[in-house]
Structure 1
Amino acid sequence: MKKIKFLMSIIVCGVALSSCNNYLDINENPNNVHQENLTPQLIFPGAVSQTYRTQGTTMLTFGNIMMNSWAGNTYAYGGPFASEYTLNSVNSSFYSDIWDGIYPNIANFAFIENYPNADGKQDNYIAAAKIMKAYYMQYLVDLYGDVPYSEAFKGQNNLTPKYDDDVAIYKALINDMDVAKSLIANAKPTALSMGAADIVFAGNMSSWTNFANTIKFKLLMRMSNVTGDLATYRDTQLATLASAPFISADVFEKPGYAGTSDAAMHPTTVNYFINAAISAYPQNYTLITASENLAAALNGNNLSLPDAYYQKYNGLPDPRRFRLFLPYSGGTVVRGIRQGATPGQPGAPNDNTEVSKLSYFMVGSNTGTLSQVIKLGNDRGGLLMSLAELNLLKAEAALRYPAIFPTFDGLSSFNLAVTQSGKVMNADTQLSMASYITQISTRPGLGWVGTTEQKYEAIMTQKWILLTQYNPTEMYIEYNRLGQKYPFSPMATTATRPNKPLRLVYPTSEYVGNSANVPNVTSAEVFTKNSKTPFWNQN
């Protein structure tokens, strides 16, 4: 990796933490905090909030375009998202900000892990850093396969780290969750309380233990298709979670987003909705609309699209629809555009020039003025993982591994997840999720009914709708795990490839700064299963 990448990882933390309990000011003088004065207490909140910025921006766009949830407003822009639609430019520049945004900040968690701790004072911080490192490191492995790990994050001591086998990294992350839990359970009396510096759980170490279990669970569920010794390893590790506690509430990072400046705003809000002064919209606000694919699912297939997949939605508008996209002016539905279509073509008719915009309710409250909604969104923080997502994983585990999880009830977990998805979208207080659950219970592929395969489809369809608002890249990875079958995600009309990419190409920064180690991945290899595909998706 480039030298500057490792230097910046420390600077970001110092910058983020140099202004009186404000972890968001990215314009401070980096000389305000010197490296020798950095401690886990100072670094941790900035590491979390800065890493989340990539999840709340670049990964939000990437995942939603890949999942055919968002589309570019071709009535206002010429050829938006052309590279994403055609897929003929999936190269070292294609969404390289994911790698370049996450890797340097993971270095901050590694810095905490390696902080001198002979007296045990840093036990809690080290445990939390391991958990957050695993949370984000998994995405790098899932998107790229082999990546630097054992020699990474050493700064100037190793500017060209080797690439580790992705299986070994997964096992290391799973082991780190056990190490983190042990650190918490056996923390020395001298261990510092994280308190306000913990912008995730406010120092509640039991919650960190539960989050570690949940991340371990997610890592292992990603391995559902592995065989042989890896399958044995997976099942053995899953068995350790049979009676483990998982998260009991949605997990947010709350660094104190505020409307005092654009830099202090919730990154999703300021990049997709409105600026801090509530006086100007970013380009994304007019660029992004719903895809026809998502609009059909949310509206109850009001356009009578002929694909068999859409029939399960017929006549059943989704009660969460306006928490994702606002109805167009004077309309009562979400109106979108077929990916790749230009005005006058099917999916973008000339009489359909007004389309839906992103709903700011997805980052704030379900009522109030715009300023009130934005403030509540700042207060709520960035959603890392929802309870609904966990329960969809439990529903799938009940189907795949009943002998390991005999107490998991697929139907209860699934219905609870759908209910919770309404709550996390701020929809349940006004809209009846209970009625929706009753209605979908007779619709295979949408509710918990039918064959096992149809239940997998229902799980992934509900996960797709849920994750659209906060982590669609997670859904894109799950879509790859399920063989790009569920949910239905049609290729753009301009696509030049038969399927979505199975991984990304390493970024230019690696080919420039770590050329001796970075594997060569061609654009063609991205679209086929091969030895460079993430290990859990090679079968």
Structure 2
Amino acid sequence: MKNFKIKTGILTVGLLLSTISCERYLDINDNPNQPAIEWVTPNELLPVGITKCYSAQGRSLMAFSSVVMNTLAGNSLSFGAPYIDDYKPNVSNTFYTGIWDGLFLGAANFEQIIKYNDPEGKYVQYKAIAKIMKANYIQILTDLYGDMPYSEAFQQQNNLTPKYDKGENIYKASITDIEDAIALIDTHAGDKPGAADIVFKGEMEKWKAFANTLKLRYLLRMSNIPSGDLATFRDQKLAALSGATFINENVVENPGYSAANDSQQNPFTNYFVLTTAMSRPQNYSYNVASENVQIVMNGNSEGDARPVYQKFTGIVDGRRARMFNLVGGKVVGIRQGNLPGEAGVPTGGTLSRFNYGITIGGTSTPTSNPELLAMVSSRGGYIMSVAESKFLQAEAALRYPALFSNAQGNFTAAITASFTLFGSTANLPAYLTAISTKNGLGWAGTDANKMEAIMTQKWIALTGVNPEQSYFDYTKTGYPVTLSATIASNPKPNRLIYPLSEYIANAVNVPAISNTDVFSKNQYTPFWARN
């Protein structure tokens, strides 16, 4: 594969630029000395937008989602009282600002591709990819923040204070973008993206399948809307999606990540795992397995009597050794919010952290430090996994059996895909047998039990991959049931607060969201979660 050297800078608020040499390695820097935006082509903008968005997704969004969904905990054995704001939670305009800033910067590249002046139609397929990728990350932003700039966003100096659009209108516009992208792909017009497509290398049928799957995710997010125009819109779009082809492989971006230096590594790697100097970043020491995921992975061998853990009793998860390193043959974590000497905090200093199934994938275990460094550094970034695609199809078939079929088959395929991704296929048959009669964990019981099972298994499968999707599932369904930290004074948030940068730069338009608004159902809650 070709490698990209990428330099990024900001011309105006919210606009990311790049220059790329296809024969050089990936190198991401801040550089204000960039060419005028009209000189930068879609071929150059596309990989930068994708890598910029994934960087925010694989770092800030990964950290927030992993803690709020209780798979990671702060290492209170080494850091005193970690993750106080996350545990309470105290959500403010300085809370995880990297999510908003990073995704908006990346999305600016996609918008520039979409509106790029292309009279000869050379970049039609690039525009299709940009529409799909923009819709993917705009959904994440809308699900996290509700109303936000959209129709007037990304206009640079022409509008530095864009208005806020309603989340439901952003959803409709993004679904239109997805449909437009599919129509553009079907024209077969323009140049076929090659190395600039760092996901599918120009295989546009795969982009169509991903677009269909993304559209399904949008529509299922709206599944709790009981009636009215939005419900009618959702049902019409679902009917049109019946029989569509969905993605059947992991959607992974990789511009040529390597161990050449830290800036060329997968950004997840040098944030959570290992730097090119073979040293551990602070986040490696800071983030450990939670007691919650410990009990789930170990089949409640601890005999915890809390009701949330009863369905896991006796079900040792065959993925555990690949997802987390084992200590004494088990996952060992920390109870969120507790300190040394309190319940759920082990007396020893060795704790479990993300292991090879997450940091490398389903490949073989490295046998030397140089091989380890090369493998964790060059791993691609997951945009969507096969497991998520199959869980979405299972949910669709369970909710809308007249339109979609094979709910149980897709549920099983999703778990299978997760075991494959983490490199645990040998343990799959025993696990499927063990969960088969467990309400809320296997395909058993009522439809409500099966929905709980979908969301619970999806949460496990997306650990260390795309945990934000399980956070949105929890906001929508209340599943999977995950305990809050012992020091929590608020429930899990329904949304985040706009960053301080927005209150400074766009004060005339940004809604004044209070900490209280975050935890109650109100006009500021993402529209699909108000019921």
Q: TM-score, normalised by structure 1?
A: 0.93
Is 1:494 paired with 2:487?
Answer: yes
Secondary structure of the 1:196 match is coil
Aligned to 2:79: 77
Maintained 8 Å contact 1:252/1:384 = yes
Shift of 1:302: 1.5
CA distance in structure 1 between the partners assigned to 2:283 and 2:297 by the alignment = 21
Aligned match of 1:104: 105
Tell me whether 1:536 sits opposite 2:528 in the alignment: yes
CA offsets per residue over residues 42-64 of structure 1, 9 Å max, x none?
11011111110001111110000
Q: Is the 8 A contact 2:338 2:344 kept in 1?
A: yes
1:452 to 447, 451, 456: 447
1:523 aligns with 2:515: yes
Aligned-pair CA distance for 1:122: 1.1
The residue type equivalent to 1:204 in the other structure is E
User: Following TM superposition, by how much is the alpha carbon of 1:313 offset from its aligned partner in structure 2, in angstroms?
Assistant: 1.2
- Aligned partner (choices 4, 9, 12) of residue 7 of structure 1: 12
Cα distance in 1, alignment partners of residues 152 and 87 from structure 2: 36
The AA in structure 2 aligned to 1:274 is: L
Equivalent residues in 2 for 1:174-189, closer than 5 Å: 174-188=175-189
In 1, the alpha carbon distance for the partners of 2:67 and 2:25 equals: 30
Map of 1:139 onto structure 2: 140
1:333 to 330, 333, 336: 330
Secondary structure of residue in 1 paired with 2:17: helix
Shift in Å at residue 23 of structure 1?
7.0
Query: How big is the shift at 1:354?
Result: 2.4
Task: Give distance in 2, aligned partners of 1:524 and 1:221.
Answer: 27
Task: Give ranges in structure 1 of 5+ residues lacking alignment.
Answer: none
CA apart distance, 1:28: 6.6
Deviations 1:367-392 (A, max 9, x none): 12343244234444111111111111
CA displacement, residues 133-172 of structure 1 (integer Å, 9 cap, x when unaligned): 0000001100111000000001111100000011110000
Cα pair 2:74 2:336 within 8 Å, conserved: yes
Q: Identity of counterpart residues, as a percentage?
A: 45
Alignment partners' CA distance in 2, 1:413 and 1:78: 44
Shift of 1:30: 4.5
Show the counterpart of 2:243.
243
Contact 2:13 2:156 in 1 (8 A): no
Answer yes or no: is the 8 Å Cα contact 2:123–2:191 preserved in 1.
yes
Question: Which residue identity lines up with residue 42 of structure 1 in the other structure?
Answer: E
| TM, length-normalised to structure 2 | 0.95
Q: How does 1:122-161 map to 2 (within 5 A)?
A: 122-161=123-162
Query: What is the match of residue 62 of structure 2?
Result: 60
Shift of residue 311, structure 1, vs aligned partner = 1.3
CA contact (8 A) 1:67 1:476 kept: yes
> After superposition, what is the alpha-carbon deviation per residue over 1:14-73, rounded to whole angstroms, capped at 9, x for unaligned?
1xx434445731237443644332000111011111110001111110000000110011
Indicate if the aligned counterparts of 1:334 and 1:356 stay in contact, CA closer than 8 A: yes
How has the CA–CA distance of structure 1 residues 29 and 18 changed in structure 2, closer, same or farther, with 3 Å as cutoff? farther
CA–CA distance in structure 2, aligned partners of residues 233 and 22 of structure 1:
47
Q: 2:52 matched to 1:50? A: yes
Stretches of structure 2 lacking an aligned partner (at least 5 in a row):
1-8
Q: Name the structure 1 match of 2:344.
A: 347
Check 1:71–1:157 CA distance in 2 against 1; reply closer, same or farther (3 A cut).
same
SS in 1 for 2:424: coil
Does the residue aligned with 1:56 lie in a helix, a strand or coil? Answer: helix
* Alpha-carbon separation, structure 1, partners of 2:137 and 2:422: 23
Q: For 1:404-427, what per-residue CA distance to the aligned partner results, in whole angstroms no more than 9, with x for missing partners?
A: 22xx21111111110110111122
- Write the distance in 1 (CA, Å) between the matches of 2:24 and 2:465: 23
Give the equivalent residue in structure 2 for 1:442.
Answer: 437
Q: Which structure 2 residues correspond to residues 474-485 of structure 1 after superposition, within 5 A?
A: 474-482=469-477, 485=478
Which residue identity lines up with residue 385 of structure 1 in the other structure? M
Between the aligned partners of 1:276 and 1:186, the Cα distance in structure 2 is: 44
Q: Which residue of 2 aligns with 1:263?
A: 263
Q: Which residue of 2 aligns with 1:420?
A: 417
1:514 maps to a residue whose letter is: N
**Contact conserved, 1:18 with 1:32, CA < 8 A, in 2?**
no
CA distance in 1, matches of 2:408, 2:256: 37
Q: Deviations over 1:78-124 (max 9, x none)?
A: 1110111111x211111111101111110110000000122211100
In 2, the alpha carbon distance for the partners of 1:301 and 1:121 equals: 57
Please state whether the residue corresponding to 2:382 is helix, strand or coil. Answer: strand
Partner of 2:264, secondary structure, is coil
Q: Alignment partner of 1:384: what SS?
A: strand
Deviates more, 1:415-424 or 1:225-234: 225-234
The answer as to 2:406 corresponding to 1:432 is no
In the alignment, the residues of structure 2 paired with residue 425 and residue 418 of structure 1 have an alpha-carbon distance, to the nearest angstrom, of 11
Give secondary structure in 1 for the equivalent of 2:262: coil
Aligned to 1:197, what secondary structure does the other structure show? coil
Give the corresponding residue for 1:201.
200
Mark the CA change 1:337 to 1:386 in structure 2 (over 3 Å): closer, same or farther.
same
Is the 1:99–1:140 contact (alpha carbons within 8 Å) kept by the matching residues of 2?
yes
> Which letter maps to 1:458?
A
Q: CA deviation at 1:9?
A: 5.0
Q: Is the Cα–Cα contact under 8 Å of residues 17 and 34 in structure 2 kept in the other structure?
A: no
Q: CA deviation at 1:531?
A: 0.9
1:39 matches 2:41 = yes
Match in the other structure for 1:254: 254
Query: Cα–Cα, structure 1 residues 325 and 386, in superposed 2: closer, same or farther, change >3 Å?
Result: same
Q: Matched residue pairs, number? A: 519
Q: Please say if residues 259 and 378 of structure 2, whose CA atoms lie closer than 8 Å, have aligned partners that are also in contact.
A: no
Deviation string, structure 1 residues 269-310 (Cα, Å, up to 9, x no partner):
1111111132x1101111111111111000011111111221
Question: Residue 353 of structure 2 aligns with which residue?
Answer: 357
Give me the whole-angstrom Cα distance separating, in 2, the residues matched to 1:358 and 1:250.
Answer: 19
CA distance in 1, matches of 2:43, 2:376: 25
